[in-house]
Each structure stands twice: as structure tokens, then as C-alpha cells.
Amino acid sequence: MSEYRDRIAVLAERSRADREAFEAPENPPDEERALSYLRDGVGDVVSVYVDGRTGEFAAFDEVEMSMLERALNNWFELYARCYGETIEAEFTVREVAELVIDTHDVSDVAQLLTHVPERR
């Protein structure tokens, strides 16, 4: 168990609550809400992961990684639903974090991984 367990648990609970409270937009896309899932959800997960992997290395245990990835994927699925799409997200925190670090843009990463919205 790492020093990040409490932060991870909060993220996991927030993602579950967001999933349970989600109501599909009547007229998709709801880009503002989609972006909030990326910034306030995916971005927070990536932040905890990067914080734990820089400086004094934190060894996340299996439970922590599972909670981080479930939260991350919940928010990617909600992001897609804001566009009227349903996806089964199965991304790893590491792959998402690396892409965010490379691109500096969580929206670009979301589009790249989920293909939502479609590129025109």
C-alpha cells in the first residue's frame, strides 16, 4: 500500500458516483461535461500516477492500480457517452499518462484513444 491510497480511494469513489449519476445528454454532444470528465477525472488520475512515479518512487500495489484504472476508464466511458457513444474503455494508467506527458493535452489523448469524436 502506498502513501497515495487515500487519494486513489477518493478518485475511485468519485468515478463511481459520476457513473451512477450520469444522465445521457438529450442532444449530444455535451462537450463541456465531456471535458470536465477529462480534466477533473482523467487528469486527476494521471496526476496521482505521475506524482507517485516521480521524486520518491511510490510502488502502487495491485489494488491501487486496479482502482486507478477503473476510475480512469469510467471517466473515459462517460466522456464518450457525452458524445452519444458507448465504449468499453480498457486503457492503462501508464499508457494514458505517457500520452498526456507527450501531448500536454488530455482532450487529444481522449480522442486518440477513444476515437470520440470522430476526426473530420
pLDDT at 81: 98
Sign of CA pseudo-dihedral 112, 17, 25, 88: positive
pLDDT at 2: 77
Whether the bond into 117 is cis, omega within 30 of 0: yes
- Using one digit for the tens of pLDDT, what is the confidence trace for 5-50? 999 999 999 999 999 999 999 999 999 999 999 999 999 999 999 9
- Using one digit for the tens of pLDDT, what is the confidence trace for 84-98? 999 999 999 999 999
pLDDT of 120 above 80:
no
- Using one digit for the tens of pLDDT, what is the confidence trace for 101-119? 999 999 999 999 999 998 7
* pTM, rounded to two decimals: 0.95
Q: Where are the domains of the chain?
A: 5-114
Q: Which of these, 58, 93, 54, 59, lies nearest to 73 by C-alpha position? A: 93
Sign of CA pseudo-dihedral 23, 24, 30, 31: positive
